[in-house]
Structure formats: C-alpha cells, structure tokens
C-alpha cells in the first residue's frame, strides 16, 4: 500500500519532554482533591464497602444489592484502599496509572504505522484533551477503560501485522479487562477498527484465521471472574429484589440489559438520547484539538471516498467512527463516554497535522490555535472575576505565568509552535480548573462537609457517647465515603423512628424534612448547617459570586429523637 507518511522531523527531545512532563503534572493535579458527587462518590463508596467488608463478590449500595456496573474498577480501587487507606488519593491513583498506560499505548500504536512525530503529538493530545484531564479528577470507569481499549487494539493490530502469540494473549487480556469494566459493547471500539482495516485493504482471508477465534475465546476466559461473581450475587439468589423485582439474572443483565437494553432503551435503566449530542459535545470535550479533529476526519473520509491513499491504517478511523455512531444512536449519552475513543482521535489529529504541506494552511491553523488560546484566556479571566476563586491573586498569577511561558516556548517552526500553544491553552484552562475552580466547588458538597464535621465532633468523649449518623431522605454519597463511622440511610420516617426510639441519632437532611419531624413532636436539636449545590451542573447564578447564595440549598445536621 502507498501510505501518506510525514517526512517532517520529530519534535526536539527537550521540547517534547517538557510538554510531556507538563501534561502528566496537569493530570496529576486532582489526585489529592475531594471526590465529586454523584457518580464518583458513589463508585468510591462502593469500593470502600468492598475494602472494609473483604467481600469482592457482592456490590452493595445503601445495604442493598447493586446491579449496574461491572466489578473491575471497584476491585482495583478496593485494593488501593488496602494499600493507601480509604481516601481520595487512593481512589483516584490507580485510575491515573491506567490513564498513563493509555497515553503510552497510544504512542506505541501510532509508531506501528506512523512517524515518531505523529506518536509524539498523539501522546500530547491525550495528556491535554479537556475531558480526559477532567476525568482524572472526577474519576469513574473511563480511565481504566481507555487504557484497556487502546491496549487491546494495539496488541491485536500488532498481531495482525506480525503474528506474535504474545500479542494474542495480551490483546485478549485487555479485552477481558474491558469487558469486566464496561460490558460487551467494548467489542465495538476494540474490533470495529481492525474490521474496517481488513475490509478496506482487501485482506478478506484474515477473517478465516484461527488466531481471531482463539482471541475471542481467550477474552471470555479472562472475563470469567466477572461472570462468576454476577452468578454468585444474583443468579444463585433469585429472591433478591433489584429494580423493584425478584428473579434477576446478573449474567443476563451483563450481556443484554446493561448494553443492548440501554441502546434500545428497553432495559430496567432508561435514558433519553439526542442524536447530535456527541457531535457538539466533542467540540469542548476534545478541546483544544477538536477543530483539528473535525478537519482530520473530514479529509480522511473524502480521501477514502475518492479512493486516494491517505491513512497508513484504518483502525483509528473505523474504531472512532463506529463507536461515535453507536453512542449517538444510543438512548444513553454522557460526555465521558467518548473518552475511550480519544486515543484514535489523537492519532487522526496528529497525522492530519503532520501531513499539511501548504505554508498558508500552516499559518491559518497556527493562528486558529492562537486565537483559541486568547478566547480561553478571556474565559478564564472572566471566571476569575465572575466566580472569585480564592486566592484570587493566585489565579491571576497562574493565567499570566502560563501565557508568558507558552509565548516563550511556542516559537520557531509552525508545528512545534502550534503544539505549544495548544498544550499551553489546556494548561491554562485545566490548571485553573484543578487548582482554583474545582477546590472552590467542593465545600458546596454538603454531604462531605457534614461527614468531616461528624468525624471531628461525634466522639466517644462527648456527653452521651457517639451517636449513630446517617441521612434522612437524602442521597449524598460523599457523606458515606468520608464518614469514619458507619453511615445509615433512613428513607422513611418509620425507618428513622425504629432507631430514634432507642437513642438520639444525628441526621443530615433538608430544613423542610426537619420541620416536618418537629411538627410531629420529635425532639430536634440542630447542630450545623451546610450549603449544598450540585457542582457537576454549574449555573450562571451559582458561578456569579454576587448571586451564589441564591443558588444554594441548605442541609441541616441535627440530633433527633422520636417523640415520647
């Protein structure tokens, strides 16, 4: 095949290593910050229960069996808790290591078919794409899954090229881990690209080779721990109530309801998708590289339609497009779903940049990225003034310092300059997010703040001894995660009364629910009030320091005892 490859030299090692180091530090900034509600705190709490109980089979939420996500991320986080203790760092650190693995695999995958320059830029794109950095702070399953998908694709593509048995085993291993992280749909990003490549290169005989069927079997073998635990928790216990009914099969949920049931919106967990969601979501989620990505995909498709040689491999295009289409057609659409195809987007973007030949085009793209930097600088400056993070002077110094350093480093030839300004824009915006915006949001997670208060004040030395503590008609998992004693969930007045009849208890609830208890004759003694805001759904009213108090909802920690 006549591949279009870049003849441009690689980025200088000193320049590349500086940007690489900055990218790693940028993603590590959130390791010690608090865990964000709702999903991150929920997953951290599930793993906490696994670690404290030593039960790696049953996933439990609020003392009830939980059937939604596979086990792998919870197992890894629980093991990390065993090593580092139960804290924010221990929850985020293994996910961060997996993310770094995805960067390394992206670099190695690019080297299989492209130049070292493409591999370098691909790694930098991975380290600075907006939603990847955010996901290393607000950790869910995606950092694990991103590494598993690109790891499997790398080994299977190298198996296709060189027929090395070790690649068959490692590709199947990562596929099995991906299955235990997200479920059967992962075969799309893992297999679609290689399928595309084989079809478009006319290598039809490849489909009949035994190695691919062995890979499928091995992948299922590596997935057996997940299937076995689902069988033990649910299939052996049809009496358990999940989704409001008994007779639940964990294995059926894994293979059908959790994936196809969501896609067709026929499962027990439903969503409402909008077909263009990921088209516009990519614009900010893959920033500052999104415009380049759209241009890269557009050119690749036009060249493919025109039967012109352009891409050295079609794995990136196939996996990226097919997964994008699958998500777009699904009833479930969340921005972090896209993270797993960012390695393929990174390679397509890097290849596009290195194949530009016209000096006018060079200047236009460089100016575009510089203008994008200026827009981000205006946005960050506006947020500093509008939001007023503390210390405000530190945020201003950060914006000025990053701009000056970027201007000094991003000089010379157009491509290093463009890459420098793109990385600089990510450091500017996401450094502000991790250092100033995010830490200023966390005190508005009332559950976590109440837990810290209880940890300090609810001690055996206080009059009457320690109190049982929990939430009444509330659902804030940061409370349970950060609480150093057992957290209770009292969903009804009858549940609360059964405990409060025997001794006073501490509850976190809304003023309305507290007033209802008081009106019913309960003994109520407020202890503290904590301000709550759903920090993953920011609004202009909340961001504006002058109107922020209007957006807050108070949560009250009180000692209560049922009426005599």
- Is residue 457 domain-shared with residue 543, that is, in the same domain? yes
Residue of 122 and 63 predicted with greater confidence: 122
Q: Is residue 3 in a domain?
A: no
Please give the angle made by the CA atoms of 380, 386 and 387, to the nearest 5 degrees: 85
What DSSP state is assigned to residue 525?
E
Q: What pTM was estimated for this model as a whole?
A: 0.93
- Residue 42 to residues 39, 57, 68, 290, 455, Cα–Cα distance (Å): 5, 17, 12, 31, 20
- Give tens-digit pLDDT for 23-80: 999 999 999 999 999 899 999 999 999 999 999 999 999 989 999 999 999 999 999 9
Q: Is residue 305 in a domain?
A: yes
What torsion do the CA atoms of 499, 500, 506, 507 make, to the nearest 10 degrees?
A: 80
3-state helix, strand, coil in the chain (%, to 5): 65, 5, 30
Final residue before a domain boundary, out of 408, 443, 478: 443
- Residue 522 to residues 18, 49, 562, Cα–Cα distance (Å): 63, 32, 5
- Is residue 127 domain-shared with residue 141, that is, in the same domain? yes
Q: Is residue 2 in a domain?
A: no
What DSSP state is assigned to residue 464?
T
Dihedral pair phi/psi, residue 59, rounded to 5°: -90, 125
The string of DSSP letters for 320-358 reads HHHHHHHHHHSS---GGGGGGGHHHHHHHHHHHHHT---
- Is residue 336 domain-shared with residue 369, that is, in the same domain? no
- Give tens-digit pLDDT for 99-121: 999 999 999 999 999 999 999 99
Q: Is residue 44 in a domain?
A: yes
Q: Is residue 4 in a domain?
A: no
Sign of the dihedral defined by the CA atoms of residues 253, 254, 256, 259, in that order: positive
Using CA atoms, how far apart are residues 421 and 554, in angstroms rounded to an integer?
Answer: 43
Q: What is the pLDDT of residue 2?
A: 36
Using CA atoms, how far apart are residues 50 and 46, in angstroms rounded to an integer?
Answer: 6
- Is residue 51 domain-shared with residue 188, that is, in the same domain? yes
- Is residue 281 domain-shared with residue 313, that is, in the same domain? yes
Of the listed ranges 25-34, 267-276, 368-377, 442-451, the one predicted with least confidence: 267-276
- Is residue 547 domain-shared with residue 535, that is, in the same domain? yes
- Is residue 213 domain-shared with residue 109, that is, in the same domain? yes
Q: Is residue 514 in a domain?
A: yes
Residue with tokens 């590596």: 222
Cα Rg of the chain, angstroms: 26
Q: Alpha helix locations (H) across 242-334?
A: 250-252, 260-263, 277-285, 290-305, 315-329
- Is residue 395 domain-shared with residue 457, that is, in the same domain? no
Sign of the dihedral defined by the CA atoms of residues 242, 243, 247, 253, in that order: negative
Q: What is the mean pLDDT of the chain?
A: 91
- Give tens-digit pLDDT for 275-307: 777 788 888 899 999 999 999 999 999 998 888
The whole-angstrom distance between residue 478's C-alpha and the CA centroid of its chain comes to: 17
3-state SS class at 472: strand
Q: Is residue 17 in a domain?
A: no
- Is residue 369 domain-shared with residue 347, that is, in the same domain? no
Final residue before a domain boundary, out of 312, 330, 354: 354
- Is residue 166 domain-shared with residue 240, that is, in the same domain? yes
- Is residue 185 domain-shared with residue 65, that is, in the same domain? yes
Using CA atoms, how far apart are residues 395 and 263, in angstroms rounded to an integer?
Answer: 43
3-state SS class at 260: helix
Stretch (H or E) spanning 488 = strand 487-490
**Mean pLDDT of the 555-563 span:** 92
Residue with tokens 């393929």: 344
What lies within 8 Å, CB to CB, of 393 at 6+ separation is none
3-state SS class at 281: helix
- Is residue 144 domain-shared with residue 279, that is, in the same domain? yes
Q: What is the pLDDT of residue 390?
A: 84
The string of DSSP letters for 343-409 reads HHHHHHHHHHHHT---HHHHHHHHHHHHHHHHHHHHHHHHHHHHH--SSHHHHHHHHHHHHHHHHHH
Show the domain range for 374. Answer: 365-443
Using CA atoms, how far apart are residues 366 and 348, in angstroms rounded to an integer?
Answer: 18
Final residue before a domain boundary, out of 421, 443, 465: 443
What DSSP state is assigned to residue 264?
T
Q: What is the pLDDT of residue 536?
A: 87
Q: Is residue 195 in a domain?
A: yes
Using CA atoms, how far apart are residues 421 and 427, in angstroms rounded to an integer?
Answer: 10
Using CA atoms, how far apart are residues 199 and 106, in angstroms rounded to an integer?
Answer: 23
Q: What is the pLDDT of residue 1?
A: 36
Q: How many domains does the chain have?
A: 3
Q: What is the pLDDT of residue 263?
A: 60
Instruction: Please answer whether residues 26 and 137 qualify as being in contact, where contact means their C-beta atoms are separated by less than 8 angstroms.
Output: no
């Amino acid at each position: 095949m006549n591949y279009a490859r870049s003849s441009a030299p690689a980025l200088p090692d000193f320049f590349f290593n500086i940007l690489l180091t900055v990218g790693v530090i940028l993603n590590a900034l959130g390791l010690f910050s608090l865990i964000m509600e709702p999903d991150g705190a929920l997953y951290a709490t599930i793993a906490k229960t696994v670690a404290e109980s030593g039960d790696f089979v049953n996933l439990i939420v609020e003392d009830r069996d939980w059937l939604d996500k596979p086990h792998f991320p919870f197992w890894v986080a629980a093991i990390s808790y065993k090593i580092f203790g139960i804290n924010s760092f221990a929850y985020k650190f293994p996910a961060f290591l997996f993310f770094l693995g995805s960067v390394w695999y992206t670099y190695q995958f690019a080297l299989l078919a492209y130049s070292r320059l493409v591999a370098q830029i691909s790694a930098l794109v991975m380290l600075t794409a907006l939603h990847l950095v955010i996901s290393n702070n607000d950790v869910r399953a995606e950092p694990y899954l991103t590494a598993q998908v690109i790891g499997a694709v790398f080994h299977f593509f190298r198996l296709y090229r060189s027929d090395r048995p070790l690649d068959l085993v490692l590709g199947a291993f990562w596929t099995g881990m991906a299955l235990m992280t997200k479920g059967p749909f992962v075969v799309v990003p893992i297999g679609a690209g290689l399928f595309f490549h084989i079809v478009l290169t006319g290598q039809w005989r490849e489909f009949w080779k035994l190695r691919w069927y062995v890979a499928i079997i091995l992948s299922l073998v590596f997935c057996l721990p997940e299937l076995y635990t689902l069988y033990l928790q649910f299939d052996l216990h049809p009496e358990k109530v999940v989704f409001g009914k008994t007779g639940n099969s964990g294995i059926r949920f894994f293979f059908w309801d959790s994936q196809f049931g969501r896609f067709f919106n026929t499962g027990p967990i439903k969503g409402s998708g909008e077909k263009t969601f990921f088209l516009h979501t990519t614009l900010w989620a893959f920033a500052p590289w999104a415009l380049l990505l759209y241009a890269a995909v557009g050119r690749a498709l036009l060249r493919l339609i025109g039967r012109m040689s352009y891409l050295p491999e079609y794995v990136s295009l196939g996996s990226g497009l097919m997964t994008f289409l699958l998500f777009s057609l699904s009833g479930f659409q969340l921005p972090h779903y896209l993270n797993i195809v960012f390695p393929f987007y990174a390679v397509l973007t890097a290849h596009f940049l290195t194949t530009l030949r016209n000096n006018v085009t060079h200047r236009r793209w460089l100016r575009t990225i510089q203008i994008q930097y200026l827009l981000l600088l205006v946005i960050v400056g506006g947020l500093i003034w509008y939001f007023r993070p503390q210390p405000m002077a530190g945020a201003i110094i950060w914006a000025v310092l990053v701009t000056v350093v970027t201007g000094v480093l991003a000089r010379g030839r157009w491509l290093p300059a463009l890459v420098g300004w793109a990385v600089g824009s990510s450091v500017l915006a996401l450094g502000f997010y991790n250092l100033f915006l995010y830490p200023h949001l966390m005190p508005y997670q009332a559950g976590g703040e109440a837990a810290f208060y209880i940890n300090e004040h609810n001690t055996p030395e206080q009059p009457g001894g320690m109190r049982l503590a929990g939430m009444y008609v509330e659902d804030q998992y940061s409370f349970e995660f950060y609480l150093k004693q057992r957290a209770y969930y009292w969903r009804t007045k009858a549940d609360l009364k059964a405990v409060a009849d025997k001794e006073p208890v501490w509850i976190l609830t809304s003023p309305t629910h507290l007033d209802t208890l008081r009106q019913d004759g309960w003994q109520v003694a407020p202890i503290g009030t904590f301000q709550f805001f759903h920090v993953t759904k920011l609004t202009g009213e909340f961001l504006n320091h002058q109107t922020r108090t209007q957006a807050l909802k108070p949560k009250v920690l009180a000692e209560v005892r049922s009426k005599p």
